[in-house]
Amino acid sequence: MQYSYFDSIGKSISKLGFGLMRLPKISENEDAIDREEALRLIDLAMKNGVNYYDTAYFYHGGDSESFAKEALSRYPRESYYLATKLPGSYMRDNNIHTQELFEGQLEKCGVDYFDFYLLHAVNRDIMKTFEADKSYEYLTEQKKLGRIKHLGFSYHGDYDFFVELIDKYKWDFVQLQINYYDWEADNAKAYYLALEERNIPCIVMEPVRGGSLHKLNPEARAVFDELGDASYASYALRFVNDLPNVMVILSGMSTYEQVEDNLKTFNEGKPLSTNEKEAIEKANYFFRRNFAIPCTDCKYCVEHCPANVDIPACFSAYNEYNKSRDTDDFKRSYIKIPFERQAHNCIGCGVCVSHCPQQIKIPDNLKKVKVLADEKD
Ligand code: SF4
Ligand code: SF4
């Protein structure tokens, strides 16, 4: 296993971090964790040197933190680093405060301290909630008390505010969405460089863009197939692993095979060759042409939808169609979504939009899904 070491952090951390947001589930349409299988995945990762585990208040409908306790409490506390996050949108919508949430999270995770603690999914709007509640000040106090070892934030907002934020407060690290698609398309490069210039270590989330850089479309796959039999995900992981200011790369692993494949990538730790870099550029070109709705399947929108539409599942079916242009295939995937959660249930209220870190116009895109689903055979 490759490890990173940053003087400002003072810890040897596995480059591969386990994101506890896409654990195996008991069924496709439910968020409940298949605990037996998920524990098997954690054990495989622990056995192979993965020491960074990332959860959050919201993941798996609020069950990920309890699962982190169940899984990690079987190991000595000093053998793993645990990260979780303060949910600003939940604070705003429910008038709940930092202290109450933080104390609850320690208890739920079964720990006395968090190694890494983040303000979650910060943007201009969410930061107002954190500032009104003096979250940064409270968490800095907790850091002095040793209940937080390193304080940072994850970000989904505009660049100017990002720079303002990293200069206004002292941060130990920052978590960004970086992958070869977003590097240019979403300007991830500029955010990354802003951190590098300031020597703030970067944690990467969504390196495979919610799995979409693994699924790819046939033209993009063909580019990688010419190079050999390495998985498509491994190229995406190696792209971010080559960035020198990256401390950890989070992967939300859902299957035993994914853990094995990611372990292989980070055990080998091979930098990309010139050929491979060119292949990524080419594959990205083909991928971009067919990527219709940039949903990462984070599910942040779902719990806010009064109609309980399975928004990411609708978008996933649509994106698959956009690659294959096979209407029958689309309809087969689409009818697997329970009828009461399909796109036609959307009432267009727009509540979901402010919860989407990718700033997707969800109601408009659901209309496109509905039109396609309604097309006559
Ligand atoms: S706009 Fe549609 S999908 Fe979004 S919250 Fe409202 S009903 Fe749900
Ligand atoms: S629509 Fe946005 S919030 Fe919802 S799952 Fe996709 S990326 Fe996440």
- At residue 28 the predicted structure's pLDDT band, cuts being 50, 70 and 90, is confident
User: Of 304, 315, 362, 364, which is best to mutate to test ligand 1, by the most ligand atoms within 8 angstroms of its C-beta?
Assistant: 362
Q: Which residues contact 121 (CB under 8 A, 6 or more apart)?
A: 85, 88, 89, 154, 155, 156, 300, 357
Token pair 């940053």 is at which residue? 6
Q: Is residue 295 part of a domain?
A: no
Q: Judge contact between 308 and 362, C-beta under 8 A.
A: no
What local confidence, expressed as pLDDT, does residue 322 receive?
Answer: 82
Q: Which of 290, 322, 356 is the last residue of a domain?
A: 290
- At residue 186 the predicted structure's pLDDT band, cuts being 50, 70 and 90, is confident
- At residue 333 the predicted structure's pLDDT band, cuts being 50, 70 and 90, is confident
Same domain, 150 and 208: yes
* Measured torsion, CA atoms of residues 187, 354, 315, 22, in degrees rounded to the nearest 10: 80
Strand-pairing partners, residue 101, are none
Q: Which residues contact 88 (CB under 8 A, 6 or more apart)?
A: 119, 120, 121, 122, 126, 127, 129, 130, 135
Average pLDDT in the chain: 95
HSE of 327, CA atoms in CB hemisphere, 13 A? 8
Same domain, 273 and 351: no
Q: Where are the beta strands (DSSP E) in the chain?
A: 3-5, 12-14, 16-19, 52-54, 81-86, 114-122, 148-155, 173-177, 202-205, 246-251
Amino acid 35 reads R
Q: Is residue 130 part of a domain?
A: yes
Q: What is the pLDDT of residues 282-293, one digit of tens each?
A: 999 999 887 789
Please tell me the distance between residue 300's alpha carbon and the centre of ligand 2 in angstroms: 6
Give the dihedral sign, CA 33/81/297/300.
Answer: positive
- At residue 377 the predicted structure's pLDDT band, cuts being 50, 70 and 90, is low
- Least Cα distance to 177 among 165, 185, 169 occurs for 185
Same domain, 271 and 311: no
Which ranges of 153-255 would DSSP assign to H, the alpha helix?
159-168, 182-185, 188-197, 212-215, 218-225, 232-241
Number of folded domains in the chain?
2
Q: Judge contact between 128 and 136, C-beta under 8 A.
A: no
Q: Is residue 229 part of a domain?
A: yes
Retrieve residue 346's tokens.
């959307």
Please tell me the distance between residue 14's alpha carbon and the centre of ligand 2 in angstroms: 28
Q: Which of 267, 290, 313 is the last residue of a domain?
A: 290
Same domain, 253 and 315: no
Q: Is residue 296 part of a domain?
A: no
For residue 299 and ligand 2, the question of a CB distance below 6 A is answered with yes
User: Of 309, 344, 353, 359, which is best to mutate to test ligand 1, by the most ligand atoms within 8 angstroms of its C-beta?
Assistant: 309
Q: Judge contact between 127 and 155, C-beta under 8 A.
A: no
Same domain, 226 and 348: no
Q: Which of 234, 257, 290 is the last residue of a domain?
A: 290
What local confidence, expressed as pLDDT, does residue 336 receive?
Answer: 87
Q: Is residue 22 part of a domain?
A: yes
For 272, the domain range is 3-290
Same domain, 252 and 355: no
Q: Is residue 297 part of a domain?
A: no
Q: What is the pLDDT of residues 101-152, one digit of tens each?
A: 999 999 999 999 999 999 999 999 999 999 999 999 999 999 999 999 999 9
Please tell me the distance between residue 59's alpha carbon and the centre of ligand 1 in angstroms: 20
For residue 366 and ligand 2, the question of a CB distance below 6 A is answered with no
What is the DSSP code string of 330-341? HHHHHTTS-GGG
Same domain, 172 and 238: yes
Same domain, 243 and 325: no
- Domain CATH code at residue 149: 3.20.20.100
Retrieve residue 317's tokens.
């079916």
Same domain, 61 and 177: yes
Considering every ligand atom shown, identify the ligand nearest to the alpha carbon of residue 309 and give its number: 1
Same domain, 95 and 209: yes
Strand-pairing partners, residue 313, are none
Q: What is the pLDDT of residues 279-323, one digit of tens each?
A: 999 999 999 887 789 898 889 999 899 999 999 999 999 988 887
Q: Is residue 81 part of a domain?
A: yes
Please tell me the distance between residue 353's alpha carbon and the centre of ligand 1 in angstroms: 8
Same domain, 277 and 351: no
User: Of 293, 295, 305, which is best to mutate to test ligand 1, by the most ligand atoms within 8 angstroms of its C-beta?
Assistant: 305
Same domain, 285 and 313: no
Q: What is the pLDDT of residues 58-79, one digit of tens each?
A: 999 899 999 999 999 999 999 9
Helix (H, G, I), strand (E, B) or coil at 302: helix
